[in-house]
Amino acid sequence: MHYTGTIWRPPYEADSLLLEVTVGCTHHKCKFCTLYSDLPFKFRMSPIEDIESNLLEAQVLHTNPYSKMLTRLQGKENPELIQRVFLTGANPFVLKTEKLLEIASFIHKYFPSVNSIGCFARITDSVNKTDEDLIRLRHADYNGLTIGVETGDDAALAFMRKGKADKEL
Ligand code: SF4
């Protein structure tokens, strides 16, 4: 699996398959944040070939004999189906709708059991998406974003350098 730098995820994503589709943050300027400071670059989108090879590897790891043996030792018949995928990086939702849909189609190809896809998002990442885009993404199982809403106070947002919407990638 490709994992770059420190991988951050919410505690409730402990059972989710973590899939690297982006690394870092498109904004990377908030005054209080050190989350991706271990990276030698600000933001990177993973090549689609890497995303697909990660899914293939996760599929093999999930169903290989060793995994099945561990499952049996835990008293279960088969490995539990993967239902949720969490895309890593600070804000994969900044990607263009077509790119996110392509990622979802690869996820469903390798894990047909997945019915929920989520990621971290900046509140501004949805600004460039139309209602139609959001409906299409919802139908592709994007149904659980984690958004840091620190404050609605404009002065505090400016002081903390929360910034404006970033361009879609
Ligand atoms: S948007 Fe999030 S990850 Fe990016 S710099 Fe701000 S707090 Fe950090």
Kindly report, residue by residue over 30-89, the tens digit of the pLDDT. 999 999 999 999 999 999 999 999 999 999 888 777 777 888 888 887 778 899 999 999
Give domain status of residue 167, yes or no: no
Which protein residue's CA is at the shortest distance from atom 8 of ligand 1?
33
Give domain status of residue 130, yes or no: yes
Please work out whether the CB of residue 35 comes within 6 Å of at least one atom of ligand 1. Answer: yes
Q: What is the pLDDT of residues 126-160, one digit of tens each?
A: 888 999 999 999 999 999 999 988 888 989 999 99
Give domain status of residue 169, yes or no: no
Q: Which domain holds residue 94?
A: 11-159
Q: 73: closest CA among 61, 84, 65, 81? A: 65
Helix (DSSP H) and strand (DSSP E) numbers for the chain: 5, 6
Please work out whether the CB of residue 160 comes within 6 Å of at least one atom of ligand 1. Answer: no
Ordered strands of the 17-20 beta sheet: 17-20, 84-88, 116-121, 142-147
Number of domains, the chain:
1
Give domain status of residue 29, yes or no: yes
Give domain status of residue 15, yes or no: yes
CB 100 within 8 A of CB 140: yes
Give domain status of residue 4, yes or no: no
Give domain status of residue 64, yes or no: yes
- Given this model, what pLDDT does residue 69 score? 81
Q: Which of 26, 30, 36, 161 to mutate to test the pocket of ligand 1 (most atoms within 8 A of CB)?
A: 30
User: DSSP assignment, residue 32?
Assistant: T
Give domain status of residue 164, yes or no: no
CB 159 within 8 A of CB 31: yes
pTM of full prediction above 0.85: yes
Cα 140 versus chain centre, distance? 14
